[in-house]
């Protein structure tokens, strides 16, 4: 695993998120659930707690957009780059953007599974950079894993715990 220079992380373990808009690829309720599940991946192994808000500015602002979408990193159309997220900090930090030109799915292997993409991006939003371990969630290349049986790989667990410590049981 690797972290960003300076080990960027959130100053406390209560992190807020807000879903700013939705993809037409999936029902809204399904997007809500997938986002929650993808955050839970990290909450299960660390002291982090995620609190959803529906207005105002959250630590992690989540949105779907295509091409130029308001930051300096335009998306590139179908395939190629699927999403990106910014390391923890004020403002754009933590924000997570999905490329609306992709087809996102939640229960099938067709298109790109939103849970898989989101769980990876939230790793960045929490302070993890890319891993060179091809089995890690934080490896930069997309691969499908069944969300219903997903277990966070050891490399990623060590990474998030290096920033926030282990979960209090």
Partner 1 sequence: APLPPGSNASFAEDYLEKFFDLKNTNTSSSNNRRVSPFNLKLREMQQFFRLEETGVLDEKTLEVMNKPRCGIPDMAE
Binding residues for partner 1, per CB under 8 A?
A: 4-5, 73, 75, 79-85, 112, 117, 120-121, 124, 129-130, 132, 134, 140-142
Assess contact for 112 and 105: CB atoms under 8 A. yes
Q: Which is nearer to partner 1, 5 or 11 (CB)?
A: 5
Helices 114-126 and 154-164 cross at an angle (nearest 10°) of: 30
Q: Dump the DSSP string for 100-129.
A: TTS-EESSSSSSEEHHHHHHHHHHHHHTB-
* 102 given a catalytic annotation: no
Assess contact for 122 and 130: CB atoms under 8 A. no
Assess contact for 104 and 25: CB atoms under 8 A. yes
Q: Which is nearer to partner 1, 3 or 13 (CB)?
A: 3
Q: Which is nearer to partner 1, 39 or 85 (CB)?
A: 85
The DSSP bridge partners found for residue 64 are: 98
Catalytic site residue from 20, 30, 102, 121? 121
Catalytic residues, which ones? 121
């Amino acid at each position: 695993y690797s972290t960003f220079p300076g080990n960027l992380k959130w100053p406390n373990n209560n992190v807020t998120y807000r879903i700013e808009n939705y993809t037409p690829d999936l029902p809204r309720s399904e997007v809500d659930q997938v986002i929650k599940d993808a955050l839970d991946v990290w909450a299960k192994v660390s002291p982090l707690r995620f609190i959803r808000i529906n207005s105002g500015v959250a630590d992690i602002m989540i949105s779907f957009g295509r091409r130029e979408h308001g930051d300096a990193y335009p998306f590139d159309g179908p395939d190629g780059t699927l999403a990106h997220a910014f390391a923890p900090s004020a403002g754009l930090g933590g924000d997570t953007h999905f490329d609306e030109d992709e087809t996102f799915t939640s229960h099938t292997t067709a298109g790109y599974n939103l849970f898989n993409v989101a769980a990876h991006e939230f790793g960045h939003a929490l302070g993890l950079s890319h891993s060179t371990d091809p089995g890690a969630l934080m490896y930069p290349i997309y691969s499908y894993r069944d969300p219903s049986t997903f277990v966070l790989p050891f490399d990623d667990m060590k990474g998030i715990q290096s920033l926030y410590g282990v979960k209090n049981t």
